[in-house]
Structure 1
């Protein structure tokens, strides 16, 4: 009693067609049932992608602000160093000028003293 009914080619074909049709019906039914959850998952993915993009944009903005802050600080530091260098050069120059003026004054005082002694000596000789 292997086969109770006669399985001929047409029977097998119709059974295969019925199986395919039932699989297709089951697939369509599961697709329509899963459609709302799929839309929800898609919406969730979109919101996650938007949040990720917003976080990336915020990171980029923070990096840009930090970079500009560092550049500004570097520029201020460079300006301060240059100002200090200019002030030091001016201080050296003024010290040099003061030293030169003291030397010139001392030389003038020596000449004046020499001229006074010369005049006194000439006055004594006369």
Structure 2
């Protein structure tokens, strides 16, 4: 019994060429599609592209709606934050003791002076 002989380079090249020739022969013998079949394929492709375009448009609309909702929520949060800050400022203003102005201090001093003068008379 003889051992297995590995194919050499020329054997592999010949096998590849014969495989290519068989594949080309099969392609040549393949029947061409009819006009109706080509039209049907084109129609299916157009329908597929239209469905994809519709899906992309719906996804874009959803993204826009989500973006608008997010912006609205951020705007409302900013307004609430500003209102809370204003309320805190007003509360701090109300809690702080009110210092008299220079005119009020002068008026009080003048009133005390007039009262002292009135007691002496």
Q: Give the TM bin, normalised by the shorter chain.
A: 0.5 to 0.7
CA RMSD of aligned residues (A): 3.3
- How much has 1:38 moved relative to structure 2? 1.1
Question: Where does residue 93 of structure 1 map in the other structure?
Answer: 98
Q: Within 2, Cα distance between the matches of 1:26 and 1:60?
A: 48
Q: Which of structures 1 and 2 has the bigger CA Rg?
A: 1
Question: Where does residue 20 of structure 1 map in the other structure?
Answer: 27
Mark the runs of 5 or more structure 1 residues left unpaired by the alignment: 1-12, 95-100, 116-126
Q: How does 1:110-125 map to 2 (within 5 A)?
A: none
- How much has 1:41 moved relative to structure 2? 0.8
Question: Where does residue 43 of structure 2 map in the other structure?
Answer: 36
Structure 1's consecutive aligned runs of 4 or more residues displaced over 3 angstroms after TM superposition are 26-32
Deviations 1:38-76 (A, max 9, x none): 110110000000000000000000000000000000000
Question: Where does residue 84 of structure 2 map in the other structure?
Answer: 77
Q: Within 2, Cα distance between the matches of 1:93 and 1:46?
A: 67
Using structure 2 for the length normalisation, give the TM-score: 0.55
Question: Where does residue 68 of structure 2 map in the other structure?
Answer: 61
Using structure 1 for the length normalisation, give the TM-score: 0.53
- How much has 1:34 moved relative to structure 2? 1.2
Q: How does 1:98-109 map to 2 (within 5 A)?
A: none
Q: Within 2, Cα distance between the matches of 1:24 and 1:67?
A: 63
